[in-house]
């Protein structure tokens, strides 16, 4: 889900990099957390809860809550703990993407 950003960059004219999120190219602030960059780009959901499928995105921004989980190179990571870099390929984290899941 993407819409108008709920957040804005402190330095909107600073350096930017191109990343990919769920197949879409995004221009995001360079050398910031991936969670902050996705919020800045208007991404409002980065995962779903396994039980109810409720949407989740970055919440605590410091690695405590795990609501910002994404897949980077097939590995589940907290986006608030990863810095943006050119060419980063990120996918939303849904229960069917979990490595080793035989139901997918």
Q: Give the Cα separation of 36 and 8 in Å (integer).
A: 9
Name the most confidently modeled range: 1-15, 19-33, 47-61: 19-33
- Return the pLDDT at 15: 92
- Return the pLDDT at 51: 86
- Return the pLDDT at 94: 76
Decide: helix, strand or coil at residue 72. strand
Is 90 within 8 Å of 71 (Cβ atoms)?
yes
- Return the pLDDT at 10: 67
- Return the pLDDT at 93: 86
Quickly state the pLDDT bin for 9 (edges 50, 70, 90).
low
Q: What is the pLDDT of residues 30-56, one digit of tens each?
A: 989 999 999 989 998 999 988 888 999
Phi then psi for residue 65, to 5 deg, are -90, -20
Q: Give the Cα separation of 22 and 30 in Å (integer).
A: 19
- Return the pLDDT at 74: 86
Quickly state the pLDDT bin for 100 (edges 50, 70, 90).
very low
Domains in the chain with CATH codes:
16-97 (3.10.20.740)
């Amino acid at each position: 889900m993407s819409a108008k950003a709920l957040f804005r960059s402190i330095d909107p004219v600073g350096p930017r990099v191109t990343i990919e999120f769920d197949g879409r190219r995004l221009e995001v602030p360079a050398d910031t957390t991936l969670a902050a960059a996705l919020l800045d780009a208007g991404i409002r959901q980065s995962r779903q809860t396994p039980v109810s499928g409720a949407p989740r995105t970055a919440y605590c921004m410091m690695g405590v809550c795990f609501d910002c989980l994404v897949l980077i190179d097939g590995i589940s990571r907290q986006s608030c703990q990863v810095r943006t870099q050119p060419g980063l390929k990120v996918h939303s984290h849904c229960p069917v993407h979990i490595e080793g899941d035989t139901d997918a």
